[in-house]
Amino acid sequence: MRIYLPPELISQRTGIVLPPGKGRHVAIVMRYKEGDEFMIVDGRGKAYRAVIASIQNREVTADIIEETTSPRSLPFHLILCAGLLKGEKMDFVAQKATELGAYEIIPLIAERCQVRETGKTGRWQKIAEESVEQCGGLFLPAVHKPVLFDKFIAEFSGKGNGQGLIFMEDWGKPVDEALGIEIRSGARIYLLIGPEGGFSPAELPMAEQAGFVRATLGSSILRAETACIAALAITRFILERRIDAG
């Protein structure tokens, strides 16, 4: 079993009191006892062996035994910028994007979004946290509050330290070509996906003027939530293949 805890809580090393929900899961659901070991991840690439020091009135206290060897971290940061979706589709995106190693998730309020206000940011962050615990990941993406499309584009233009791809249904470059040749260590790669209705005629040139390059996911027409996952998976695969090739 592994659980996520924020780095500031892990830093004390001993006498770590688990948050009530996690303590209940450990003691009641999993039926762990004093002396049992489990894993803690900090969401920033580190994992720790821990032991349950005490369980009193459902309050679980743990001690760190050692920091374990972490698998290779990605030398680039994938930033998923997705049009705000209705219903539980954003839940799905938060879960699967975490599994695929997204560094940040930025919901966008685009012109054709069917939802323009939401109080679910905390819910999506919680889903991402649970995904890290369940799927053995070490990195917890930051899930941002929804931001207006034009504001996001203006901020992207001013950063100058990232590369952006905007995925289109009709046409664009293959992802390998759209990424360009050189991706430096620590590069931030923004993957821009529209809402259910796609981007408006005004939004596409706005993104391109800011430096986004049109990319395609192939000839199939994908649902917006599927496109988010496909874009992350394909981009990560291509970049990791380049790293392996030296």
Domains of the chain, by residue range, sit at: 2-67, 77-245
pLDDT of residue 169: 77
pLDDT of residue 50: 96
Query: From CA 36, how far away is CA 51, in angstroms rounded?
Result: 6
Name the 3-class secondary structure at 100: coil
The counts of H helices and E strands in the chain are: 8, 13
pLDDT of residue 143: 97
User: Do residues 83 and 115 make contact, with C-beta atoms less than 8 angstroms apart?
Assistant: no
Q: Could you tell me how far CA 214 lies from the centroid of its own chain?
A: 22
Residue 42 main-chain phi, psi, to 5 deg:
-100, 5
* CATH for the stretch 2-67: 2.40.240.20
Structure tokens at 237: 């695969």
pLDDT of residue 216: 93
Give 172-230 as a DSSP string. -EEHHHHT-S---TT-EEEEEE--TT---TTHHHHHHHTT-EEEE--SS---HHHHHHH
Average pLDDT of the chain, as a whole number: 90
Query: From CA 100, how far away is CA 60, in angstroms rounded?
Result: 31
Query: From CA 67, how far away is CA 50, in angstroms rounded?
Result: 9
Query: From CA 163, how far away is CA 160, in angstroms rounded?
Result: 8
* Residue ranges in the chain modelled with pLDDT below 70: 69-73, 158-161, 181, 246
pLDDT of residue 243: 78
pLDDT of residue 71: 59
Residue 140 neighbours by CB under 8 Å, 6+ apart: 4, 41, 43, 44, 98, 128, 129, 132
Query: From CA 129, how far away is CA 210, in angstroms rounded?
Result: 32
Its CATH class, for the domain covering 77-245, is: alpha beta
pTM of the predicted structure, to 2 decimals: 0.90
Q: Could you tell me how far CA 44 lies from the centroid of its own chain?
A: 12
End-to-end CA distance of the chain: 35
Per-residue pLDDT tens over the stretch 127-168: 999 999 988 788 899 999 999 999 999 988 766 667 999 998
